[in-house]
Amino acid sequence: MPGHKNKNNRSQYLYPIYLRWVVICLYSMLCFTEVASKDNIYTSINQVTALSVKQQNQSENKRTSRKTSYTPQIPVSDSSGFRVYQPQLIPAPSSLQELQADLALILDSPDLLNAHIGVSVFNIEDNEEIFKFNNLKNFVPASVNKLFITAASLELLGSSYAYQTDLYLSGDLALDGRFIGDLIIKGSGDPTLSEIFHEDPTVIFDDWIQQLKLLGIKSIVGNIIGDDSFFDSDYYAVGWDYMDLKKPFAAQVNALSIFENKVEISIIPPDKPGGKPEYYMFPENTYLEVYNYLQTAQPHEKSIVTVLSEPNSNLVELYGNIYNEDKMDIKQEDISVSNPTLFFLELLRARLEEFEIALDGELVDYNELDQEIDYSTATRVPGWISPPIKEIIKEVNKSSNNLIAEMLLKTIAKEKTGVGSYSNGTNQLAEYLISKGINPSMILLKDGSGLSRNNLVSPYVVSKLLTSIYKSKSRDHFMTSLAKPGEKGTLHNRLLGSDAERKVFAKTGSMNNVSTLAGYIKTKNNKTLAFSILVNNFTVPISVVRSIQDLLVMRMVNYSQ
């Protein structure tokens, strides 16, 4: 019967719509359910999405034409202002149309009502933007900004580019083992002299010291000079928050860096009642000047510890009370150092003393010199070589290391222009984007890490860059550097137990009222999508925004072209 046939047709199109509302309900559960139960919700979402795809496939098999349509009741307003229903002919949705409708429905969440949100999704194979929502609007990208610097580093410096830190001897060796002259450390911006890449970063000192001993040097009558001129003297980019500058994620950017230009201070309760709380530093040093004002708390008092230090200062003050029987963990706080060159030299001097090589001289920053260093008359000791760029960028994209990102930016500036500055680095990024068919005048880049709130980028530009890199010879190295759900990195605890767990390669970004996510998705039929989801100015907890981002990603994973 004609009427019966029309009813079936209508139900087969309405069925996926019902399922989408189920997805939204599950999303609401996801936002307000404890983390421990999220895996079950992810599973439910996957089942619903899979059922939707299955139903759609069954419907397609029954159709004799894609032109089939049905007549739902569309609500409109009459002259009295009341909602009435008016029949409209709606074409049967395609798989792409369903994806677009579902993504739009998720974005219609009331949690994002007062937020600024933008999304861009590219089908890489067709170089087509298949979904866009405020895609040309600019957003503060946070650490998604690192995608620009890591891509540019691979292609402008090369995947095998490595840093070299050299020791030079400028003087003469006396018969009694005294070296009369200066030791010069020439930095090249190596960001790998840290525990991230070495169990003990001072291994570089040990190598040099062994070579000095082989030369017969027993003491140094002269200075140790740190040449950090590979970069300019601007430690911070425009737009960094002043209150962040002593925090380890905003460490000073310098061509001679070690231990990520920070010191870990650990505070421990006294061993017995009435004892003085103590602290120790790692690495041990005399560079920071620490004043310990900590007191032992009374049994009824709560242990409270405050570590104070001002930007551009190496003075640290410890305040608070600690109860000696309190079972609190040892409090640890990382403090960034001021003038990393002198910090580097201080650690080297201490290491020389451990190996009984005395220094009769001063530690000198290159900026304090009255004249240029003449390396032509100095003797070079074989230098220290870093891991290659293809390994370095993994730490940037997986763990979102700010200092390394900034050092990469200034390295590009130095290698391409001769001056390792922020302005030259961002100008080089702009030229790089032009080579990728992207108009840099539509965005604003002020640093490499994304720490500056003056950075402004659009979802379209991010997805366009990702599409271009995927089609380049740098694709494998770049994708390997990105975070993956369940693995070490910023996606470690996201998308677990979902269909997206092994199909997403992405970079996260977050700061106050900013949450971003961009990267690649492998769909269920093995197509690759480049996506960018940028959210600013939200007032809900960031966990809610991340849940919405994850739901968008899970829906894209189940897209069947």
Sign of the dihedral defined by the CA atoms of residues 68, 73, 76, 80, in that order: positive
**Pairing between β-strand 315-322 and β-strand 289-292 as defined by DSSP bridges:** parallel
Sign of the dihedral defined by the CA atoms of residues 51, 53, 56, 60, in that order: negative
Half-sphere exposure (Cβ direction) of 482: Cα atoms closer than 13 Å: 29
Quick: pLDDT tens for 40-64.
Answer: 444 444 444 444 444 444 444 433 3
Report the DSSP beta bridge partners of residue 319: 306
Tell me the mean pLDDT in the region 7-22.
43
Q: Could you tell me the residue range of the domain that residue 308 belongs to?
A: 162-387
Confidence check: pLDDT of 503 > 70:
yes
Q: 122 and 53 in one domain?
A: no
**Pairing between β-strand 504-511 and β-strand 83-87 as defined by DSSP bridges:** unpaired
Q: Which residue has the higher pLDDT, 451 or 203?
A: 451
Confidence of residue 26 (pLDDT cuts 50, 70, 90): low
Report the DSSP beta bridge partners of residue 360: 221
DSSP class per residue in 428-486: HHHHHHHHTT--GGGSB---SSS--TT-BB-HHHHHHHHHHHHTSTTHHHHHHHSB-TT
Q: 459 and 489 in one domain?
A: yes
Domain endpoint, select from 387, 406, 440:
387
The CATH number given to whatever domain includes residue 501 is 3.40.710.10
Q: 233 and 216 in one domain?
A: yes
Confidence check: pLDDT of 317 > 80:
yes
Q: 227 and 86 in one domain?
A: no
Q: 61 and 40 in one domain?
A: yes
Confidence check: pLDDT of 76 > 50:
no
Report phi then psi at 300, rounded to 5. -85, -5
Confidence of residue 561 (pLDDT cuts 50, 70, 90): confident
Q: 175 and 126 in one domain?
A: no
Q: 166 and 153 in one domain?
A: no
Strand ranges, E, within 207-330: 219-221, 224-227, 262-268, 278-282, 289-292, 295-296, 304-308, 315-322
Q: 308 and 171 in one domain?
A: yes
Report phi then psi at 481, rounded to 5. -80, -15
Distance, in Å, from the CA atom of 321 to the CA atom of 302, rounded to the nearest integer, reads: 8
Predicted pLDDT of residue 273: 67
Quick: pLDDT tens for 207-248.
Answer: 999 999 999 999 999 999 999 999 999 999 999 999 999 999
Tell me the mean pLDDT in the region 8-37.
44
Q: 547 and 429 in one domain?
A: yes
The answer, yes or no, to whether the previous bond of 283 is cis (omega within 30 of 0) is: yes
Confidence of residue 325 (pLDDT cuts 50, 70, 90): low
C-beta of residue 143 within 8 angstroms of C-beta of residue 400: yes
Q: 345 and 246 in one domain?
A: yes
Quick: pLDDT tens for 403-417.
Answer: 999 999 999 999 999
Q: 255 and 312 in one domain?
A: yes
Predicted pLDDT of residue 331: 82
Confidence check: pLDDT of 15 > 70:
no
Confidence of residue 304 (pLDDT cuts 50, 70, 90): confident
**Pairing between β-strand 262-268 and β-strand 295-296 as defined by DSSP bridges:** unpaired
Tell me the mean pLDDT in the region 51-79.
40
Confidence of residue 271 (pLDDT cuts 50, 70, 90): confident
Closest CA to 219 of 351, 346, 356: 356
Give the CA dihedral 393, 395, 401, 406, nearest 10 degrees. -20
Q: Which residue has the higher pLDDT, 65 or 161?
A: 161
Domain endpoint, select from 40, 59, 91:
91
Token pair belonging to 223: 């200075």
Half-sphere exposure (Cβ direction) of 440: Cα atoms closer than 13 Å: 16
Q: Which residue has the higher pLDDT, 304 or 98?
A: 98
Quick: pLDDT tens for 351-404.
Answer: 999 999 999 999 999 999 999 999 999 999 988 899 999 999 999 999 999 999
Other beta carbons within 10 angstroms of residue 539's beta carbon come to: 10
Please report, rounded to a whole number, the percentage of residues in the chain having pLDDT higher than 70: 81
Q: 179 and 87 in one domain?
A: no
Predicted pLDDT of residue 36: 38
Domain endpoint, select from 363, 387, 411:
387
Predicted pLDDT of residue 93: 55
C-beta of residue 223 within 8 angstroms of C-beta of residue 203: no
Quick: pLDDT tens for 435-491.
Answer: 999 999 999 999 999 999 999 999 999 999 999 999 999 999 999 999 999 999 999
The total number of structural domains that make up the chain: 3
Confidence check: pLDDT of 149 > 80:
yes
Q: Mean pLDDT of all residues in the chain?
A: 86
Tell me the mean pLDDT in the region 118-147.
97
Q: How open is the CA angle 71-133-27, to the nearest 5 degrees? A: 75
Predicted pLDDT of residue 543: 95
